[in-house]
Amino acid sequence: MPLSQVPLSWFLMLSAALFAIGVAGFLFRRNIITVFMSIELMLNAVNLSFIAFSYQNKQVNGHLLAFFVMVVAAAEAAVGLAIILTVFKNRATLNIDEVDSMKN
């Protein structure tokens, strides 16, 4: 079946599923690296829905926005990984529940 015949809803369902997995990972995993990967997953789920809508409507805006999201994700990955490294150096842990010095 050619790509043009795949209905939009399939893409959106896939996107929603990916996003839900990302949210679940973000909420329930304690390892910072895993949490970080969940964020990437959510971003890509959103990218997928952008591309799907863009393809459906024959417009280029969605593609553009997807590129922006990718750039932001790359930047975020660079900064986020640096933060994670620093946290690990200072606390010798990657358990997210132990990083709570902002409590109260």
Binding site for another protein (CB under 8 A): 23, 26-28, 30, 35, 96-97, 99-104
CA–CA dist 74, 104 (Å, integer): 32
Q: Between 92 and 97, name the residue whose CB sits nearer to another protein.
A: 97
The set of long-range contacts for 98-103, using a CB threshold of 8 Å and a minimum separation of 24, is 99/32
Q: What is the largest CA-CA distance in the chain?
A: 56
Which amino acid is located at 99 in the chain?
A: V
Q: Between 10 and 28, name the residue whose CB sits nearer to another protein.
A: 28
Q: Between 42 and 52, name the residue whose CB sits nearer to another protein.
A: 42
Would you call 87 exposed, middle or buried from its count of C-beta atoms within 10 A (0-12, 13-18, 19+)?
middle
Q: Between 69 and 96, name the residue whose CB sits nearer to another protein.
A: 96
CB of 102 to another protein, least distance (A): 4
